[in-house]
Amino acid sequence: MALTYANHPALQGPMEPARFASQVHDCEVVGEIPAGLKGTFFRVGAEWLYPPKFPDDSPFAADGIASAFRIADGSCDFAARFVETPRYLANKAARRQLFGYYRNPFTDEPEATGISGTVSNTNIIVFAGRLLALKEDALPYEVDPATLATIGPHDFGGGYSAPTFTAHPKVDGQTGEMITYGYEAEGLASNAIWVYTIAPDGRVTSERRIAAPYLSMVHDIAISQNFILIPVYGMVSGMERLRAGKVHWGWDGTVPSYIGVMPRRGNGDVVWVAGPEMAMVHTFSASDDGGVIALIAAVSDSNPFPFFPDVHGKPFDPAKARTTIRKYVIDLARPADGWREEVLFPEWAGALSRIDERYCGHPFRYGFLSAAHPAMPYDAAVMGPRPPSNALARFDFATGTVEAMHCGETLAVSEIAFAPRSPDAPEGDGWVMAFATDYTDMKSQLVIGDTANLAAGPLARVKLPFRAPGQIHGNWVPDWVLPV
Ligand SMILES: [Fe+2]
């Protein structure tokens, strides 16, 4: 039986596809949007234009849909539009799903042969004046920031040679230069990682080609003042599993994890520091002092994704998938000693780690996380038994303290974004915001709070008259970077 929207097990309730582009002029606001908050919250998510061919496929294979909350003078307009990748256009023309398992072309239908399967659904950033929708298996897709219309793939004027581009490039908060990379850079299932530096005007200024210890999902990196930190862990793939018709990734808990340490400047080699099983899908940031590196990241003990099954057949373990904030210290004088790990805030669980981006690549004090915590109440009758992320929290790594805003007992809250109060405001001072869906009426909202008093709760809820597509990542772009 063909999978439809109605019978697909993973497309029900809050995961039911909405399948529409939308515009809302002057959204309803409950509370008050701060007068000083002016800019655009761009976000991108995954939305199935057509149901996936397989019931156990990854939600990461759904089509990208970009959206924008444009905020000025206490009001907000909303818009959402699909990123029109070749895959989206081919499926639209065929009026059905032509593509198979997540990033496995061997499972595509013949009509999809030669058509890029990327979906541009993971992150959306502004860099060098361009709005770029990102997916780590292809080049960025440029999107018009005013209309969200798709312009096309972007290779930085030909200076970016790799066929893939991470969803998590790092932009140095002081110099404005981007450190970025593509993995599987020498083709499907290759372990090649090509690392680039791109100047603030979009010119590629360096390319270095390295090899990972094995092919792994290199979803995110971190940069310190002097180093690039590259996590490699047991989310593995290979031509054998792809030819066997499996989803791109599987979990292998028997291989060592690594953190690659690469000098940001010059041509120094990567040092691969080994350690035990873990999944470092997202980082906060890193700093270094005298050859000692401190990296803070959101990490789980094992596979965090149930839709990427264990290669040895082990059942998914929700306890080991729980993601917490951890600090890793590496002494480059003794790389063979591995790293020292410390769990910083064990009661807080959340995977989508953020910082005040003005401090990226430099010593930093604060981290931000949309998170679940035992003291943050939720309505289990509506949300189910598992505590949802329903708090927006700021973590002070200097003092070990946390301030948090509870968003609501029936809300599932997406990734936090931080908006500095002004270009030169102190670190971590400003507003936080996040997209959320209320499971009582299945309508969405943007929740906004002030870092000066998170405990007071949201200052404003920008309400949409429908459930907007889910989000993977989003970013606040202040009006001093891109006018509203
Ligand atoms: Fe991510």
**Pairing status of strand 235-236 against strand 250-251:** antiparallel
Separation of 401 CA from ligand 1 center, angstroms?
Answer: 25
Query: For 166-208, what is each residue's pLDDT tens digit?
Result: 999 999 999 999 999 999 999 999 999 999 999 999 999 999 9
Strand order across the beta sheet in which 222-223 lies:
222-223, 227-232, 257-263, 271-275
Separation of 280 CA from ligand 1 center, angstroms?
Answer: 11
Whether the CB-CB separation of 63 and 26 falls below 8 Å is answered with no
Separation of 476 CA from ligand 1 center, angstroms?
Answer: 16
In this prediction, residue 13 has a pLDDT band, given cuts at 50, 70 and 90, of confident
Long-range contacts of 370-379 (CB under 8 A, 24+ apart): 370/413, 370/414, 370/415, 370/416, 370/434, 371/404, 372/348, 373/347, 373/348, 373/349, 373/404, 374/347, 375/347, 376/404, 376/406, 377/406, 377/409, 378/409, 378/410, 379/409, 379/410
What does the pLDDT average to over 73-94?
A: 98
- Going from N- to C-terminal start, the domains of the chain cover 155-364
Whether the CB-CB separation of 388 and 411 falls below 8 Å is answered with yes
Cα 301 to Cα 99, 322, 326, 328, 470, distances in angstroms: 32, 8, 11, 14, 26
> What is the model's pLDDT at position 24?
98
Separation of 334 CA from ligand 1 center, angstroms?
Answer: 30
Residue 170, helix vs strand vs coil: strand
Separation of 415 CA from ligand 1 center, angstroms?
Answer: 10
Separation of 378 CA from ligand 1 center, angstroms?
Answer: 25
Q: In degrees, to the nearest 5, what angle opens at C-alpha 330 toward C-alphas 326 and 334? A: 150
What does the pLDDT average to over 211-222?
A: 98
Separation of 26 CA from ligand 1 center, angstroms?
Answer: 30
> What is the model's pLDDT at position 5?
87
What DSSP assignment string belongs to 181-205? Answer: EEESTTSTT--EEEEEEE-TTS-EE
In this prediction, residue 232 has a pLDDT band, given cuts at 50, 70 and 90, of very high
Separation of 283 CA from ligand 1 center, angstroms?
Answer: 9
Separation of 13 CA from ligand 1 center, angstroms?
Answer: 24
- Tokens 């946390």 label which residue? 402
- Tokens 């090509």 label which residue? 194
Separation of 123 CA from ligand 1 center, angstroms?
Answer: 7
Separation of 298 CA from ligand 1 center, angstroms?
Answer: 11
**Mean per-residue pLDDT over the chain, rounded:** 97
Please name every residue paired with 150 in a beta bridge, in sequence order, or none if there are none: 143
Separation of 329 CA from ligand 1 center, angstroms?
Answer: 22
Please name every residue paired with 23 in a beta bridge, in sequence order, or none if there are none: 79
Which one, of 128, 123, 127, lies nearest residue 138 by Cα?
Answer: 123
d(CA 83, CA 93): 15
Separation of 351 CA from ligand 1 center, angstroms?
Answer: 9
Query: For 42-79, what is each residue's pLDDT tens digit?
Result: 999 999 999 999 999 999 999 999 999 999 999 999 99
Structure tokens at 272: 């691969």
Separation of 73 CA from ligand 1 center, angstroms?
Answer: 31
Separation of 219 CA from ligand 1 center, angstroms?
Answer: 6
AA identity, residue 62: A
Separation of 121 CA from ligand 1 center, angstroms?
Answer: 10
Whether the CB-CB separation of 429 and 36 falls below 8 Å is answered with no
Separation of 137 CA from ligand 1 center, angstroms?
Answer: 13
Separation of 14 CA from ligand 1 center, angstroms?
Answer: 20
DSSP 8-state class, residue 227: E
In this prediction, residue 6 has a pLDDT band, given cuts at 50, 70 and 90, of confident
> What is the model's pLDDT at position 267?
86
In Å, how far from its chain's centre is CA 208?
Answer: 24
What does the pLDDT average to over 4-28?
A: 90
Separation of 74 CA from ligand 1 center, angstroms?
Answer: 30
Burial of 238 (0-12, 13-18, 19+ CB in 10 A): middle
Separation of 30 CA from ligand 1 center, angstroms?
Answer: 30
Separation of 364 CA from ligand 1 center, angstroms?
Answer: 20
> What is the model's pLDDT at position 1?
66
Cα 58 to Cα 10, 49, 62, 87, 344, distances in angstroms: 10, 15, 8, 16, 30
Separation of 347 CA from ligand 1 center, angstroms?
Answer: 22
Q: What percent of the chain has pLDDT over 70?
A: 100
- Tokens 């361009």 label which residue? 130
pTM of structure: 0.97
Separation of 380 CA from ligand 1 center, angstroms?
Answer: 27
Taking 80 as the threshold, does the pLDDT of residue 222 lie above it?
Answer: yes
Separation of 208 CA from ligand 1 center, angstroms?
Answer: 23
Q: In degrees, to the nearest 5, what angle opens at C-alpha 177 toward C-alphas 172 and 179? A: 80
Taking 90 as the threshold, does the pLDDT of residue 18 lie above it?
Answer: no
